[in-house]
A and B are shown apart, each in its own frame.
Chain A
Amino acid sequence: MSSASASDRLTATGLPRLLAGLRRDGAPLGLDAHLAVHGPLPSPSGLVELVAKSGLRGRGGGGFPAGRKLAVVASGRRRPVVVANGTEGEPVSFKDKTLLRRAPHLVLDGTALAAAAIGAGEAFVAVARDAPEEIAAVSRALGERRSRRLDRGVTLQLVEVPPGFVSGEETALVNVLNGGPAKPTFAPPRPFERGVRGAPTLVQNVETLAHMALIARLGPDWFRGIGTEAEPGSALFTVSGAVTRPGVYEAAFGTPIRALLAQAGGVRGAPGAFLVGGYFGSWVNPFEAQGLSLDDAALSSAGAALGAGAVVVLPEVACGLDQAARVARYLANESAGQCGPCLNGLSALAGALETLAAGRGDSRADALRWLQQVRGRGACRHPDGVVRFIESSLAVFSDEVELHLRRGCSGRQGAFLPTDGGRR
């Protein structure tokens, strides 16, 4: 965990940004300390244009241009609503929880500014019910802001939502806020058209909102001062697995993966594979990862994408196929169970990987057929994300598949990647 003191100044690399001035003891930055690190709350005027010029993209995994989303929601006929999405149901991602727990005011600044900029009077900060420290930090920060009357014209409210991999999907989140279950709904209409109580709703990831809080203060040119032309700025990355110091690190887009791993103290032992982009991401073999950088332009050459910025290092001793089967089973179980192809197909696919991992037979033909059948047939993107993960697993661990079929498993089996919601 990178822990800078309040006296840290921006370094020559322009980092840290979001993680600037965090307390070493892990406690949240109080309002005064936050304002001392980042400066007073700026005006929301012109924020939509500033964000558009900055090139900021959504950091929840979708990567949609944040300025365009603001503009679309603002252009609706009714007064919009804002939802700050801090649910982070992905077991290998802790970056949103880190922000909420340690820099809650940065998230709340961004939420209040975005709301004011698009004319919303109400904003909800959604946090998973199984994240008590984050709930406490946000709740306390909201109290500080209220007693100082910081966010006039906007009512900020904390909402605890049921935990789960799909409960942070934006239609599921809107569903919860409308009194329904934490399950996706059939779209269109999308939340930006009709969301909370039927109003146009901006559902934005909390890291994205935190970036907006800094763009409102320092401007789009500052934001573009690091990163790449196509993917400007910095992002938070959750590094876990076989590294010396697992944690959340901030890096500019375009940073070599090597440099990010060095921030985490380096890889422990021999790496087997890197999982880039979390459980909807792709495996990259260590040789290929050496030359890759943290931006989608570079990663796409290896068939990977950043997603929400989770990088997991699988040690060489662990059986990749076994890990893939465990994650696939977890993801199948996390299906909301509403759509036939997701409910049946993901379970069948997890079974096919389990068959391969246990060396019980060659289920590849079944798996390939089901991958084709399931893709694109859910109401949300959950089945598509799982299909992507399984395709990548079969491709990157194809040698291991052959080995399992001929001689059995040579690696170590057992839980390595978290499949329990990942609380820590």
Chain B
Amino acid sequence: MSRTIRLNPIACDGSGLCAELLPERIRLDEWGYPIVDPSPLTPELERHAERAVAACPTLALLLAKKRG
């Protein structure tokens, strides 16, 4: 069962930590807010994704089961 990164854009305040920890799936827009690639996480990325989720100061990142 593959997982994917989901963002709660209301909670996010643009700290940018996630993009440093998971650049394979997250880049920042011109205002410093994350643009999330929703494609499934590969096994190698899972660990980095979990670290990014844990590092978010506003708990805005979620690991979700791939929808559909």
Interface residues of A (CB under 8 A from B): 184-186, 338-342, 344-345, 348, 370, 373, 377-379
* CB–CB A339/B10 < 8 A: yes
* CB–CB B33/A340 < 8 A: yes
Pull 14 A–B residue pairs with CB atoms less than 8 Å apart, ordered by A. A185-B10, A186-B10, A186-B11, A339-B10, A340-B13, A341-B9, A341-B31, A344-B30, A348-B30, A370-B30, A373-B29, A377-B35, A378-B9, A379-B10
Please give, as numbers and ranges, the residues of chain A lying within 8 Å of B33 by CB-CB distance: 340-341, 344, 377
How distant is the Cα of A370 from the Cα of B35 in the complex, in angstroms? 12
Output the nearest chain A residue to B36 by Cβ-Cβ distance: A377
How distant is the Cα of A377 from the Cα of B35 in the complex, in angstroms? 8
* CB–CB B9/A377 < 8 A: yes
Output the nearest chain B residue to A340 by Cβ-Cβ distance: B33
- Interface residues on chain B, number (Cβ under 8 Å): 13
Please give, as numbers and ranges, the residues of chain B lying within 8 Å of A377 by CB-CB distance: 9, 33, 35
Chain B: minimal CB distance from A107 (Å): 31
* CB–CB A339/B9 < 8 A: yes
Residue B17 lies at the interface, judged by CB distance under 8 Å to chain A: no
Please give, as numbers and ranges, the residues of chain A lying within 8 Å of B14 by CB-CB distance: 340
Please give, as numbers and ranges, the residues of chain A lying within 8 Å of B9 by CB-CB distance: 186, 338-342, 377-379
1/0 per residue, CB under 8 A from A, across B1-41: the answer is 00000001111111000000000000001111101000000
How distant is the Cα of A1 from the Cα of B6 in the complex, in angstroms? 47
How distant is the Cα of A131 from the Cα of B58 in the complex, in angstroms? 38
* CB–CB B31/A344 < 8 A: yes
Chain B: minimal CB distance from A129 (Å): 24
How distant is the Cα of A379 from the Cα of B33 in the complex, in angstroms? 14
Known A341-B31, A379-B10; 12 more pairs at CB < 8 Å: A184-B10, A186-B8, A186-B10, A338-B10, A339-B9, A339-B10, A340-B12, A340-B32, A344-B29, A345-B29, A377-B33, A378-B9
Name the residue in A340, A342, A345, A377 with the highest tally of chain B Cβ atoms < 10 Å from its Cβ. Answer: A340
Chain A: minimal CB distance from B19 (Å): 13
How distant is the Cα of A345 from the Cα of B31 in the complex, in angstroms? 8
Interface of B: prevailing SS: loop
Please give, as numbers and ranges, the residues of chain B lying within 8 Å of A373 by CB-CB distance: 29-30, 35
Interface residues of B (CB under 8 A from A): 8-14, 29-33, 35
* CB–CB A341/B11 < 8 A: no
How distant is the Cα of A340 from the Cα of B13 in the complex, in angstroms? 7
How distant is the Cα of A321 from the Cα of B31 in the complex, in angstroms? 26
How distant is the Cα of A416 from the Cα of B29 in the complex, in angstroms? 34
Output the nearest chain B residue to A342 by Cβ-Cβ distance: B9
Please give, as numbers and ranges, the residues of chain B lying within 8 Å of A378 by CB-CB distance: 9
User: Which 8 residue pairs are nearest across A and B when measured between Cβ atoms?
Assistant: A340-B33, A339-B9, A344-B31, A338-B10, A186-B8, A379-B10, A373-B29, A186-B10
Name the residue in B13, B14, B31 with the highest tally of chain A Cβ atoms < 10 Å from its Cβ. Answer: B31
Please give, as numbers and ranges, the residues of chain B lying within 8 Å of A340 by CB-CB distance: 9, 12-14, 29, 31-33
Please give, as numbers and ranges, the residues of chain B lying within 8 Å of A186 by CB-CB distance: 8-11
How distant is the Cα of A344 from the Cα of B31 in the complex, in angstroms? 7
Output the nearest chain A residue to B31 by Cβ-Cβ distance: A344
Chain A: minimal CB distance from B58 (Å): 11
With known contacts A340-B13, A340-B14, A379–B8 Cβ distance under 8 A: yes
Chain A: minimal CB distance from B15 (Å): 11
Output the nearest chain B residue to A184 by Cβ-Cβ distance: B10
How distant is the Cα of A292 from the Cα of B13 in the complex, in angstroms? 45
Q: CB < 8 Å: which of A184, A185, A338, A341 contacts B29?
A: A341
How distant is the Cα of A342 from the Cα of B11 in the complex, in angstroms? 13
How distant is the Cα of A8 from the Cα of B4 in the complex, in angstroms? 59
How distant is the Cα of A338 from the Cα of B7 in the complex, in angstroms? 13
Please give, as numbers and ranges, the residues of chain A lying within 8 Å of B8 by CB-CB distance: 186, 379
